[in-house]
Chain A
Amino acid sequence: MGKTAKTKSIGHYYEMLSRYLLPQRSALIGLTALLFGSIGLQLINPQIIRYFIDTAQSDRSLEPLYYAALLFIGFSLIQQVVSVIATYVSENLAWRTTNRLRGDLAEHGLKLDMSFHKSNTTGSIIERVDGDVNALANFFSSFIIHLGGNLLLMAGIVVLLFRENVLIGAGMLLFVIGAVFVIQWIRKYALPVWTKWRQVNAEFYGFIGEHLEGTEDTRANGATGFVMNRFYGLLRRMLPIRTKAFLGFASMWVTTIIVFALGNAMAFAISAYLWKQGSITIGTVYLIFYYTELLAKPIEKIRTQIEDLQKADASLVRIRELLGMRPKIQDGPGAELPSGPLAVEFDDVTFGYDDEPTLDGIRLRLVPGEVLGLLGRTGSGKTTLARLLLRFYDPREGSVRLGGVDIRECKLGELRTKVALVTQNIEIIQGSVRDNLTFYDESVPDERMIGVLRELGLGDWYDSLPQGLDTPLASGGGSLSAGEGQLLAFARVFLTDPGLVILDEASSRLDPLTEHRLERAVDKLLKDRSCIMIAHRLATVERADKIVILERGRIVENGPRKALAADPDSRFSRMLAAGLEEVLA
């Protein structure tokens, strides 16, 4: 089982590398050249020292010793310059590749459906798209330099030792293989704890994020102490896990200390034996010692590389998990929706988030240009119905058709430009007013935006903006009132040209005065468009042609508004009466 897991994990690395690293071919080739140069220089220097010691021990002229020393210094200087350049190149490479990955992850994440976004806090997504990718970046950047380069250096040393003497060469080869094996073996124990540490870390920042957003509620309800206690509770869980993760690191370090002591011991024993036999000079004894010490560097680097790998391993698993998550909603083959107002049809649609159906056997028809008022208690399934129209979810049974086309046949992009949704939650992004209106779509001319703002009664507001459309809006709305935010959301819809508009409690935050101002704009918006108005207030649906009342996911009443209002036995007219009572009370 271990073996299959291992080959699988190597497969993952290969897939990642070939997808992100291989496209940067020229940088890779340059880097390889730099590496070879640097390794060659590192291998030559000990030879100079051996020549030096043996010459110093003999009776030959001392003059060449000075040249040897100068050569030594010169080579080390060049080697340093080369290694700085190599690091720069590899760092650049790593950022380029991981930035692509970051972008891809974000793009992928944005395409995933709501069920994903509801089960992940923003904090934990930051951990994935940035934290996990960072762990991977270390791996990318040092992969070539440290893993490739050091393996090469190691091989060079072993070959050169074989040239000196087969015994010492064979001994060192065994040592290197043993060392790498032992270090790999230790790694297995450290990995799971590391994964756990990253998890609890993600949870921790999720917690911090939530509470940074909820300061108002916490503060005014005197819950500061409660939040701090939860914080302490998390700390108590984190410390033991972090200790274990650190001890995992310690084990790796300790292993190298012991392995190298053993390596040196072996070098001592073999070279002492060969020296006593007279088959090597004292200079060569030193050379063997020096190369053994030099081996420490690549093996040490490979160790840190493996540490990065550990982090990368855990991160890679999560990244792949995220990338592998297919949105349940897939693009259709690309049927076109007709332009102009859209007819809406629900054919026996059943849908549920879990086993219990939220919508049950919904059958609904709307001719183009009609306005439907959708009423029902909280949780009766109104919002779910809207989500199905935008394909945030697909029905479990039955089908949804727009203009006669099953929406599963359409491209999502096409569908969502033809269907607009304004919800009760207004999402203001950090950026300018323009960014918020168009979501960075640069093709929308300023005049149109300003025109729409004025039309919606945001003219005064627009005039008060110090930098016009370029005025930055704080994330979450900040200085905007909730109502203004809602008007802005309306403006977004006006700027696209949908054939169906869904207003989901769209005016719930508006006071009647502003709502009144909006009426004209809404009239215009609904002209030549179909509309579904989700409401729990009655006046909202006054302009509806048809009324549908939902209860527990079923349609309990369906008919023309006027007819229902006139029928004293209808639920709708009872609702109207209840509203009236409220005023009398």
Chain B
Amino acid sequence: MSTFSYMWRLIRYRPGWYVFNALVWTAIYLMPIVPGLITKEFFDSLTGHAATGLGTWALVALLVGFALARSATVYLGFITDVNFRFRMGMLLRRNVLEHILKRPGARAIPGSPGEAISHFRDDVDQSEEAVSWSVDVFGMTCFAVVSCFILLRIDAEMTTLVFLPLVIVIVAAQLATTRLQKYRAASRESTAKVTEAISEMFGSVQAIQVAGAERRVTERFRKLNDDRRKSMLKDKLMTEALDSVFSNTVNLGTGLILLLAGHKMRGGEFTVGDFSLFVYYLTFVTQFISNFGKFLTYFKQMAVAKERLTDLLQGAPAQVLTEANTLGEKGREPGAARLRANASDRTEQASAVAGHRMNKGPAVIGMAAEERLEQLDVSGLTYRYPETGRGVEDIRLHLRRGSFTVVTGPVGSGKTTLVRTLLGLLPQDSGTVLWNGREVDDAGNFFVPPRSAYSAQVPRLYSDTLRENILLGLEDRGGQLERALHTAVLEEDLRHFRDGLDTVIGPRGVKLSGGQAQRTAAARMLVRDAELYVFDDLSSALDVETEQKLWERLFADRGDATCLVVSHRKAALARADHILVLKDGRIEAEGTAEQLLERNESFRRLWSGDESGS
């Protein structure tokens, strides 16, 4: 997609607001025509060339009155501008966010979150700026046309000689701005590095403090900052040099008028009033030219921003960025007041549009009856991390309804990679997954509730109440939440929180211990009615007692749900219907615990190494 069509699609997102905004801003830009004429009339009235015969006081009153009118228009202009650009910017952010949430979850963004945040912030702002300025360019062009017409009627020769160099400058500057893109890209790059460094420093703050490495880490940060300074300076110098060329044109123009006006003024065919009008409009033409230049710069910067936002999509077409989706409001009619009015009912609607309602909406029930998991067959499943070439290879797996399967193996053998690849959280390189014999094409979209639910090895919790962290928007029907809390052995902890389920956790609230976080994630998974539960190392941060309770309750409560579990705990292994032993990304052995104890050396070592009871 070209930068132009990117901009065009953004404009078309809310054409009404855009047109309205353009009209208001055109009025704002056209209005200075009048004070120029008033000034001319003032000088002409002094020298006796006046056309209207208005006195000094009348002109003064007109001048002030006009300023008031323009002020009112400016207010309106800001309202239309903010409404349009907010929607447009947030559409970009919305589309990128939604796309990221659709990507294989374990590889959703290409770099670090800090880097991605800087794209969310700056690249979108840049795009917003460019589109918003296009309105100004239109308004300023109108001003140029009208003022040109007035000046031509006064003195055609002089107008041509003054405006011609300006046109040349625009062309020259246009050519020069192509160089700008390179510098801009470099400076944005170094900015992203700085943001990333901050994000990381503060993300790993405890490790840094423990290592006493505060100073060394800051030194590196200072170096990154200095790199940014250098690239920023290059960028700025180019921009500024161009800017000054633009604005110098006016002085050049005034100089040209002076050169030409001498004998005409002597002859009386060019009055001081005419001179003042020429210079007055010229000043606005300066603004026009430098703003036009600014727009071109923004436009170029938008090209960079577009590229970077597209990179964030990891291969999806740039059209995804500008897809005209709603921002949670009903219908298309904009208006901040209405936006707020029916907030709740819009939320409903948006969720219906935006994603899978994970609960048993009528459509889902129909699906569930037909797609009840009878068996899941996996063959040839392969994924290799592009950086290291390691991963899992040729995984074969068969899950019956109601079975309990454990994946085990030493560190780095690919257990987590296996479940992630199966669930589409990593993009598989090859392999087939059959759900009741039917092939699953898009695992990422397929393996969601009500088909499956998952709890990750290192679960992420959000700054919100405990309830929301578990439900994640799900409706609590028929005590599901309570059951999930019980199974996840959270009821005891809840009693200690002052606000119970409404306790806010995360950075602004209560910090959960590792075990509490893990059990919260378990509850998050269990509260979802799913055919298949996948959990990765559920008990790694739990104490013996709690872990024992968890397994017991899980077995008692799971009903006929199918479970796929990554664990090396005896409690899990002993209960398993089937165990896969992974080594170096391949299945080394499989069977029940008994069989494996007989046959497989690694398994024996895993088993006897586990101390929970020996």
Q: A222 with B449: in contact, given A121-B463, A240-B336 (CB under 8 Å)?
A: yes
**Contact check: which of B93, B283, B444, B508 meets A119 at CB < 8 Å?**
B508
Q: Is the CB of A53 within 8 A of B255?
A: no
Give the contact stretch, choosing among A8-16, A523-531, A538-546: A538-546
Q: Which residue of A lies closest to B417 (CB)?
A: A481
Q: A240 with B340: in contact, given A220-B448, A416-B210, A537-B611 (CB under 8 Å)?
A: yes
CA distance A213 to B354 in the complex (A): 20
Q: Is the CB of A210 within 8 A of B462?
A: yes
Q: Which residue of B lies closest to A387 (CB)?
A: B206
Q: Beta-carbon contacts of B354-393 to A below 8 Å, as 1s and 0s?
A: 1111100000000000000000000000000101101000
CA distance A264 to B336 in the complex (A): 38
Which residues 242-293 of A sit at the B interface, judged by CB distance below 8 A? 242-243, 246-247, 249-250, 253-254, 257-258, 260-262, 264-265, 268-269, 272, 275, 282, 285-286, 289-290, 293
Q: A212 with B570: in contact, given A221-B472, A439-B208 (CB under 8 Å)?
A: no
| Min C-beta distance of B509 to chain A, whole Å | 9
Q: Is the CB of A126 within 8 A of B198?
A: yes
Q: Beta-carbon contacts of B14-45 to A below 8 Å, as 1s and 0s?
A: 00000000000000000000010001001100
Q: Beta-carbon contacts of A475-512 to B below 8 Å, as 1s and 0s?
A: 11011011110110100100010000000010011111
Q: Is the CB of A228 within 8 A of B200?
A: no
Q: Is the CB of B216 within 8 A of A539?
A: no
How many positions in chain A have a CB within 8 Å of any CB in the partner chain? 175
Q: Does B12 contact A (CB under 8 A)?
A: no
Q: A484 with B514: in contact, given A83-B244, A253-B74, A430-B112 (CB under 8 Å)?
A: no
**Contact check: which of A49, A210, A508 meets B463 at CB < 8 Å?**
A210
Q: A583 with B613: in contact, given A83-B244, A220-B448 (CB under 8 Å)?
A: yes
Q: Beta-carbon contacts of A557-583 to B below 8 Å, as 1s and 0s?
A: 000000000000000000100111111
**Contact check: which of B194, B356, B444 meets A225 at CB < 8 Å?**
B356
**Contact check: which of B219, B417, B473, B513 meets A226 at CB < 8 Å?**
B473
**Of listed A122, A483, A542, residue having the most chain B CB within 10 A:** A122
Enumerate chain A residues within 8 angstroms of B136, measured Cβ to Cβ: none
Q: A110 with B252: in contact, given A261-B66, A512-B608 (CB under 8 Å)?
A: no
CA distance A124 to B410 in the complex (A): 38
| Min C-beta distance of A383 to chain B, whole Å | 7
Q: Is the CB of B35 within 8 A of A261?
A: yes
Q: Beta-carbon contacts of B196-215 to A below 8 Å, as 1s and 0s?
A: 10111111111111111111
Enumerate chain B residues within 8 angstroms of A420, measured Cβ to Cβ: 210
Q: Does A325 contact B (CB under 8 A)?
A: no
Q: Is the CB of A210 within 8 A of B460?
A: yes
**Contact check: which of B105, B272, B416, B515 meets A282 at CB < 8 Å?**
B272
**Contact check: which of A209, A268, A425 meets B113 at CB < 8 Å?**
A209
**Contact check: which of B56, B541, B602 meets A424 at CB < 8 Å?**
B541
Which residues 198-229 of A sit at the B interface, judged by CB distance below 8 A? 205-229
**Contact check: which of A81, A229, A515 meets B351 at CB < 8 Å?**
A229
CA distance A235 to B326 in the complex (A): 12
Q: Beta-carbon contacts of A184-207 to B below 8 Å, as 1s and 0s?
A: 000000000000000000000111
Q: Is the CB of A439 within 8 A of B222?
A: no
Enumerate chain A residues within 8 angstroms of B90, measured Cβ to Cβ: 235
Q: A583 with B574: in contact, given A56-B265, A219-B105, A482-B457 (CB under 8 Å)?
A: yes
| Min C-beta distance of B546 to chain A, whole Å | 6
**Contact check: which of B423, B462, B507, B528 meets A118 at CB < 8 Å?**
B507
Enumerate chain B residues within 8 angstroms of A481, measured Cβ to Cβ: 411-417
Q: Does B158 contact A (CB under 8 A)?
A: no
Which residues 94-122 of B sit at the A interface, judged by CB distance below 8 A? 94, 97-98, 100-106, 108-109, 111-114, 116-118, 120-121
Give the contact stretch, choosing among A27-35, A66-74, A164-172: A66-74
Q: A125 with B202: in contact, given A91-B233, A214-B460 (CB under 8 Å)?
A: yes
Enumerate chain B residues within 8 angstroms of A516, measured Cβ to Cβ: 605, 609
| Min C-beta distance of B497 to chain A, whole Å | 11
Q: Is the CB of A261 within 8 A of B207?
A: no
Q: A110 with B112: in contact, given A68-B258, A582-B612 (CB under 8 Å)?
A: no
Q: Is the CB of B544 within 8 A of A537?
A: yes
Q: Is the CB of B507 within 8 A of A119?
A: yes
Q: Is the CB of A215 within 8 A of B100?
A: yes
Q: Is the CB of B198 within 8 A of A484?
A: no
Q: Which residue of A lies closest to B415 (CB)?
A: A481
**Contact check: which of B121, B237, B355, B521 meets A228 at CB < 8 Å?**
B355
CA distance A87 to B215 in the complex (A): 33
Q: Beta-carbon contacts of A104-127 to B below 8 Å, as 1s and 0s?
A: 001101110010011111111110
CA distance A262 to B42 in the complex (A): 15
Q: Does A448 contact B (CB under 8 A)?
A: no
Which residues 70-104 of A sit at the B interface, judged by CB distance below 8 A? 70, 72-73, 76-77, 79-81, 83-84, 87-88, 91-92, 95-96, 99, 102-103
**Contact check: which of B261, B460, B574 meets A213 at CB < 8 Å?**
B460
Q: Is the CB of A206 within 8 A of B259?
A: no
Q: Which residue of B lies closest to A290 (CB)?
A: B279
Q: Is the CB of A122 within 8 A of B203?
A: yes
Q: Is the CB of A582 within 8 A of B570?
A: yes
Q: A84 with B542: in contact, given A99-B229, A231-B97, A232-B327 (CB under 8 Å)?
A: no
Q: Is the CB of B212 within 8 A of A539?
A: no
Q: Is the CB of B206 within 8 A of A53?
A: no
Enumerate chain B residues within 8 angstroms of A57, measured Cβ to Cβ: 265, 272
| Min C-beta distance of B504 to chain A, whole Å | 11
CA distance A301 to B273 in the complex (A): 28
Q: Is the CB of B120 within 8 A of A208?
A: yes
**Contact check: which of B59, B241, B607 meets A268 at CB < 8 Å?**
B59
Q: Is the CB of A88 within 8 A of B236?
A: yes
Q: Is the CB of A225 within 8 A of B354?
A: yes
Q: Beta-carbon contacts of A428-472 to B below 8 Å, as 1s and 0s?
A: 111000000001110000000000000000000100111000001
Q: A238 with B86: in contact, given A125-B198, A423-B206, A578-B548 (CB under 8 Å)?
A: yes
| Min C-beta distance of A70 to chain B, whole Å | 7
**Contact check: which of B101, B203, B214 meets A219 at CB < 8 Å?**
B101
Enumerate chain B residues within 8 angstroms of A496, measured Cβ to Cβ: 211
Q: Is the CB of B385 within 8 A of A377?
A: no
**Contact check: which of A87, A111, A227, A579 meets B612 at CB < 8 Å?**
A579
Enumerate chain B residues within 8 angstroms of A162, measured Cβ to Cβ: none
| Min C-beta distance of B475 to chain A, whole Å | 11
Can you sample 16 A-B contacts with CB below 8 Å?
Answer: A72-B255, A212-B109, A226-B355, A226-B473, A229-B328, A236-B339, A260-B67, A268-B60, A439-B211, A478-B387, A484-B411, A516-B605, A536-B544, A537-B543, A537-B544, A583-B614
4 smallest CB-CB distances across A and B, nearest first, come from: A539-B611, A512-B609, A232-B328, A226-B473
